[in-house]
Structure 1
Amino acid sequence: MSTNLELVPPPLVPPTGSNKNIPEQVSMSTNSELVPPPPVPPTRSNEIIPEQVSMSTNSDLGPPPPAQPLGSINDTPSLIPCDEEDDQRETNLKVNPLSRLETPKQTPSSQNQMPEKSKRVLTDEVQSVLVSRISSGTTTSVDDMVNFANGAFSTLNWIGDDYGSFYQDVKNMISYKYDLFIAERDGDVCSVSELEKQHLDAVLRAYNIEKEIERTQAKQEKDKEKKEKSKKLIEDVREMIQQLKEVIPSLEQQVAVIEQDEKCMKDDEQKHRAAYRIAQDEVEKVSTQINEARAVQMDAERRRNEALQGIESTTRRLQSYVEER
C-alpha cells in the first residue's frame, strides 16, 4: 500500500440500491481530505423526487453545496475516525469518551432546501451506517464509536433532521459498550495470577525499599559521626582562636619593642657606616704609605746589595796587589 494514499471518507449518501451493504474498510493514510456534504436535489416543485439518491456522477440531483475549507470541521460529515496512535487512544480511554459526544443542536441546520423525502432517505442511510458501525463487532474501540457518532450527528444536523431520540439511543449503546469495556478490563486486572504477580512485585519493592532505608540509616550514622567530629573541630578551632587573641597583645608589644630596637640599630648602623668610611680612608692611606715604604726599602736594599758587591769586588782586587808583592 502506497504511503501517499489520501484518507477520504465516503460521502454520507445512500447507495444506488437499498440492498447494498455499507463498506466497513477504512483507509489508513494520514493525508486526509475533507469531503463536502452529499449532493442537494433540485427544489423545483415539478421535479420528481427519486426514491433513492444515486451515487453516480451523472446524477441530475443538482450541484453539491460548496465544500468546507481544508482543515475545517464545521458541519462536515465524517464517519471515519483519525488513525490515532495506541498511546493516544489509551490516554483518551482514561477519560469517559462519552464526554466528547456532541449534543444535538437546539435548532437543526437549515442551510439546504432539500426535499423532505430526500432528507428522509439520507437520514435513514446515515442512521443505518452509524448503527452498523457501533453495533457490529468490527468496531471495538469506544473512542472510534464516539468519532463515528459525532460525524453522523454533524451530517444529520446538516440535513436538518430532528434526531433527539436517535441520539439518546446511540448514546446509551456507546455507554453500554464503554461499561462492557471497563468491566472486562477490570476483570482482567483483578485476575488472581495478575494479583499474585502484583503481590510479588510489591514484596520486591518493599524489600528493596527496606534495604534502601537501611542504607540510608547507615549513611545517616556516618554523616552523624562526621558532623560530631566537625563540631568538635569547630570548638577546638574557636578555642585556639581565643587563645591566639589573648596572645596577640603580648606579641604586638614585642613587635613594638623590636621596631624600637630596629630604629636604634639603624641609627647605630649609620654611625658605623660613617666610621667604616673613615677607617677605609685610613686603610687606603696606610696602604699607600706601606707601598711607598716598601718601594724605598726595596731601593735601599738594592743599593745596599750593589754596595756590598762593589766592596767585595774591590777587596779582591786590592788583595791581589798585596799578594803580588
Structure 2
Amino acid sequence: MSARSRPGATAWLLAVYVFLYVPILCLIVFSFTAGEITTQFDGFSLRWYAELARDAELIDAVLLSLRVGALAATAAVVVGTAAAFVLARFGRYPGSAAFAGMTTAPMVMPEVVIGLSLVLLFTHPLFAFLGGRGVAAIWAAHTTLCTAYVTVLVQSRLREMDRSLEEAALDLGCPPFKVFFVITVPVIAPALMAGWLLAFTLSMDDFVLAAMLSDPGSTTLPVLVFARLHHGLKPEINALATVIVAVVSLAVVVANRAMLSAQRTRAAALRHAAGISPGSVSAVTLSHPDMRR
C-alpha cells in the first residue's frame, strides 16, 4: 500500500469501527439511565441492574440459552470433529460427495427450512418418543446448524496439519486411537476452541429455530426479547446486554491468551526437538509412557 492511499484506508477503517461499536457504547451508556426510555439518558442510576436481578423470567431465559448453547456447542464439536476427520483423511469413497454435501448443507440452507423439517420431525405421531417441542428439540436444531461450521473449521486445520507427527508415532508403535488424542487433538486444539466458541455464539444468537421449536416452558433469550419488543423494551434489556458484552469480552481475551500461550508452547517444543539428534529423538519417544503403551 502506498503512503498516499494509507490515510484513506485508515479513515475507512475508523469509520467501520465507529459504525460497529458506537451503538454498543450507546447501549452501555443508556443501561445506566434513571428513566424508563431505552434511548434517553436521564441521569446516572443502577436502577435497571437491580430490576434485571429481580426479573426471574429474563434470568431463566438467559440460563436456558446458556445451557442450550453450551450443550449444542459441545455436541457440535464432537460430531463436527468426527465428520471433519472423515472428510480430510478418508479420501474418496462411494458416497463421499453426498456426505460432504449433507455435512455443509445447514450452512447454506435457510433456517426456516431446517426449522420446519425439525418441527415436522418432533411433532409427528411416529416420533412422539422424542418429546415434541421443547429444550431437546432446540438443542437438536442448534447442534445440526453448528456442526456444519465446526466441520469446516476443523477440516481446514486437519488439511494443514503436518501428518509426519502422526506417522512417526504410529511407526513407534502408538495405537491409532491414542495417536488421535495424544498428537492430533493437541495440534488442532485452537480450531476446536474456535469452533466451540462460534457454535456457542450461533446458538445464543439464534431466533428462528428457537421460535419454531420452543414451547411455553422453553423460551430462550432471543425469543423472549422479541416477545417483549411488542410491549416496549425497558432499559433492563440494555443492562442485560451490557453484562453479556462484558462477559463475552472477558471470555474472548482469556481464550485469545490461552491460544497464544499454546502456540508459544508448541513453538518452544519444536525448537527444542530441532536441537535433538534423530537417534536421541527415537530414544526419548520410546521412553515416553504415552508412546510406549
TM-score calculated relative to the size of structure 2: 0.28
Structure with larger Rg: 1
Q: Which one has the bigger helix percentage?
A: 2
TM-score (norm 1): 0.25
Of structures 1 and 2, the one with the larger relative CO (CA 8 A, separation 6+) is: 2
